[in-house]
Structure 1
Amino acid sequence: MQIKDLGEFGVIDLLTRMVIDWRAGSGNSQSFSFNLTVDNGDDTAAWSPGPSGTGRVNELFTTDTMVEGVHFTRETTPWLDLGWKSLASNISDVASMGGLPTYALVTLGLPSETEVSDLESLYKGMLQISNDYGLAIVGGDMVRSPVVFITVALTGVMRGQPMVRTGARPGDLVAVTGHLGSSGGGLKLMLERTSEAGEAADFLRESHRRPRPAVAVGQSLVESGITTAMDVSDGMADDLSKLCRASGVSGKIFTDRLPVHPFLRDWFPEGCVDLALGGGEDYVLLFTGPPAKVNHVVASLSGGAAVVGEISVGTPGQITVVDALGNEVAASNRGWDHFGPAQD
C-alpha cells in the first residue's frame, strides 16, 4: 500500500494514532506544570502553563508548508504576496482556535539561483502581515532546494479554552464568517484570463494572493460562547467533513445559503457554487452550535457571514450537499488532498 491509497487524511489518521499510542507519558512538560489542552488532530495544538479554569492562558502552536508547484507558482503568486500568504495560513489556524499570533520561525528552501531582490520581496510580504497582525519573526532555518518551499511554525496565545473540532452535535447549525470561493475564483481567473483588469478581477486576485485571517472574529466567537470551529483552508465541504468526522456526526450544506461574493458570481455564474464548496484558501472560520446561539452570532457579524448548513446523526464525516430544489448529493473529493487522486 502507498500513501496515495490512504489519501492525505488517512495518512494523518495513521500518524496521529502512532504518535498517541507510542507516546511515553507527558514527558518534560510535567516538570513545568504544563497541561496539554488540545492534542493532535486540530488546527493547532494547545497547552496551558497553569491550573484548569476559564481564565487560564493557553499557548497555541501550529505549522504549515508551501511548496512551489504544489501550493503556488511564480506566475500566479509574486514573491511579495507569497511572503504574506505563507504566514496567513498559520495565522488563520491560530484564529480558528480563538487566539492571537505571537512568534514565528521560518524555514526556507531556495534554489541557489534565487535573486536576492526576490528574497527581499518575500520577507517584505512576511513583515507586512506580521506587523498587521502583531506577531514577530524570531528565527528559522535555510536550505538549498530544487524548488522554493516555505515552512512556518507559529505560536499563539489566548485566554480561556480554545475552540476545537470535536464539539459538533446533531441539531447544531453550521455557519461561516465570510464569503466562500473568492480565493479559488482568483486562482481560476489568473489561470484562464491572465490579462483581465477592473475592480472585480482585482478583488478576486487579491482574495487569492492576500487572504486576511479572521483573528478578531475568532476572538469574538469565543466571547460569544462558540466552542466548535475551524478555518476553511482545504474547501468548505472537505473542512466540514473533517469537523464532522472529529465530532462523530454528519452534516448538510445548502447551496442556496452559501455566501458567494457578487464579484465571484459575476465572473463565474456557472462555477461559483463549486468554487464555494471546494475552492479552498478562503481562511474564513467555519463554526457550529445551537441554533439560537449561531443565529445570534451570525447576525452580529458582517462581510458575508451566513448559516449554511446543519449537523445531523449519520456516518461520521459524511457531508450531503442540498441544492435549491432539495436535491441531495454526497460531497466527495471537492477540496484539497495532497495524496489523493488528481482532480479536474
Structure 2
Amino acid sequence: MQVSALGEFPLIERLARLVQREGCPLSLPDHLATPLLVGIGDDAAAWQAGSLVQVFTTDTLVDGVHFRFAHASPWEVGWKAMAVNLSDVSAMGALPQYALVTLGLPPDVPVAWVDDLYRGMLSALSRYGGVIAGGDIVRSPMLFITVAMTGVTDLPLLLRSTARSGDAIAVTGPLGASAGGLRLQEHPIPLPAEVRSALHEAHFLPKPRVAEGRLLAREGIRCAIDISDGLVDDLRKLCQASGISAQITLARVPVHPAVRQAFPQDAYVLALSGGEDYELLFTGPPTLVERVVALLPSASLIGRVVEGPAGEVQVLTESGEEVPVALGGWDHLRRP
C-alpha cells in the first residue's frame, strides 16, 4: 500500500501505535527526567518542566504545495510559516517561546528572497511573541521551510481529548476566508478591492489566536483545537480523541463576510471544509462557553457534543434535518 492510499491521518495513527509499541522509554537520571504529558495526536506535544508545562510543535511549508515560489511574497511565506506554529501553541493555551527554522533551498534562490522570508517570520514573532533560536540550512531540489516551536504555560493545557457529552461547541471567529483567498488566487474574479484584500490577507497572513487561547485556558476551558484542516474535519479529530460525537447547526456557523460576497453559492462549503482559518474551536459546559463567548467579540456558539460513535459530526438545519457534507479538509497524502 502507498501512503496516498492510506492518507495523512491514518498514517499518523499507524505511526503513533508503532511508537507506543516499539519506542524506547526515556533514559535519563530521575532528577533530569521531565514527564511527557501529551504525545502524538494533539496540536503539540507537552511535558512537565518544573512548575510549568512546555509544548513543542512543528510544521512545514513546501513550494508547490503550500505556496508558489514564482508568485509568493517571501515576507508572506515567512509570516505564514511562523503563524501556523504559533497557532498550534495557542491551541494548547500556551505562549510561544523559541523557534528553530530549517530551510531547504535550491541553489538558485535569491539571497534577497531569503532575507525577506526571515523578515516575515520575525514580524510574526514580534507581534505574537517568541524568538528564533537556531535552525539548519540544506540544499534541496524543492524549496521548503520547517519551523519547530516551543511554548510554555502556567495554566492547565487545552487538549483535544477532554470534550464531554453535553458540552457546547464554539469558534473564536468567522470561517472560510482563507479558502476563499486560495480560490481567488487560483481562479481570479472581479471583486471590490476591500473584499479581495480581506481574502488575500486571510490566506497569506493568518492571525494565530494566541491571546484567545490564553483566555480560554484562564477562564476554565479545557478542550480546543485550531482549525487548520477545516471546521468539520478538525471537529471530527476532536471528537475522535474525546470518544464522542458532535452536532453543529449550519445557520450558526460564522461565515466571513468577504466569503459571502465573493462566493455566495459556496460560502458554507468554504466555511465548513475550507481549512487554514486558524481560529480556535473549543468545547465546555454550556454556561462556561456562553460566558467565554461573551468575552470574545467575534466568537460564536455553533453546536453541542453528544453521545455517539467517536468522531461522528452531523451538520443540521435549525429544524434538525441533517445536511450532507462531503468529507473534506486538507490531507497532504491523498490524491485529489
Q: Deviations over 1:285-330 (max 9, x none)?
A: 0101111111111111112x10112111111111111135533145
Residue of structure 2 in register with 1:20 after alignment? 20
Q: CA offset at residue 23 of structure 1?
A: 2.5
Partner of 2:11: 11
Is the contact made by 1:251 and 1:319 (CA closer than 8 Å) also made in structure 2?
yes
Query: May I ask how many residue pairs the two structures share in their alignment?
Result: 336
Pairing 1:327–2:325 present: no
Match of 2:265 in 1: 270
Does residue 321 of structure 2 align to residue 317 of structure 1? no
Secondary structure of the residue that 2:162 maps to in structure 1? coil
- Cα RMSD over matched residues? 1.6
- Tell me how far apart the structure 1 counterparts of residues 29 and 200 of structure 2 sit (CA, whole Å): 44
1:291 matches 2:318: no
Contact in 2 for aligned 1:76/1:190 (Cα 8 Å): no
Deviation at 1:174, TM superposition (A): 1.0
Q: Contact conserved, 2:171 with 2:302, CA < 8 A, in 1?
A: yes
CA shift, 1:143, in A, is: 1.2
Instruction: Classify the secondary structure of the residue corresponding to 1:334.
Output: coil
Q: State the alpha-carbon separation in 2 of the partners of residues 77 and 324 from structure 1.
A: 41
Report what 1:161 is aligned to.
156
**Does the 8 Å CA contact 2:93/2:155 hold for their aligned counterparts?**
no
Change (3 A) 1:86 1:173: same
The answer as to 2:151 corresponding to 1:179 is no
For residues 203 and 129 of structure 1, the distance between their equivalents in structure 2, rounded to whole angstroms, comes to 18
Cα distance in 2, alignment partners of residues 187 and 300 from structure 1? 31
Distance 1:101 1:284 in 2: 17
How many angstroms apart in 2 are the aligned matches of 1:75 and 1:112? 15
1:85 is paired with a residue of what secondary structure?
helix
Divergent runs of 4+, >2 A? 23-31, 74-77, 194-197, 323-327, 329-333
Contact 1:32 1:49 in 2 (8 A): no
Aligned counterparts, 1:178-327, within 5 A: 178-193=173-188, 196=191, 198-303=193-298, 305-324=299-318, 326-327=320-321
Is 1:100 matched up with 2:95? yes
Name whichever of 306-315 and 103-112 sits farther off: 306-315
Q: Deviations over 1:78-122 (max 9, x none)?
A: 111000000100000000011110110000111111111111111
Identity of aligned residues (%): 47
Compare 270-279 and 187-196 and name the one that shifted more.
187-196
SS of 1:166's partner is helix
Partners of 2:272 and 2:284 in 1: how far apart? Answer: 20
2:63 is the alignment partner of 1:68: yes
Gapped regions of structure 1 (runs ≥ 5): 51-55
Residue 178 of structure 1 aligns to a residue in which SS?
Answer: coil
1:252-299: per-residue Cα shift (whole Å, max 9, x none)? 222101111222111111111011011111111010111111111111
TM-score (norm 2): 0.96
Cα gap change, 1:340/1:324 in structure 2, threshold over 3 Å: closer, same or farther?
farther
Tell me: CA distance 1:241–1:332, structure 2 relative to 1, closer, same or farther (3 Å). farther
**Is the 2:155–2:218 Cα contact (8 Å) retained in structure 1?**
no
Where structure 2 has 5 or more consecutive residues not aligned to the other structure, the ranges are: none
What is the CA distance between 1:75 and its match in structure 2?
5.3
CA separation of 1:237/1:29 partners in 2, compared to 1, >3 Å: closer, same or farther? farther
Task: State which drifts further: 6-15 or 328-337.
Answer: 328-337
Match of 1:44 in 2: 44
Cα pair 1:77 1:209 within 8 Å, conserved = no
Q: What residue is the counterpart of 1:53 in the other structure? A: none
SS in structure 2 at match of 1:218: helix
How far did 1:57 drift?
0.7
Pick closer, same or farther for the CA change 1:29–1:236 going to 2, 3 Å. farther
What are the Cα deviations for residues 136-178 of structure 1, in whole angstroms up to 9, with x where unaligned?
A: 1111111112221110000000102211000111111111001
For residue 225 of structure 2, give the secondary structure of its aligned residue in structure 1.
Answer: strand
Q: Please say if residues 76 and 191 of structure 1, whose CA atoms lie closer than 8 Å, have aligned partners that are also in contact.
A: no
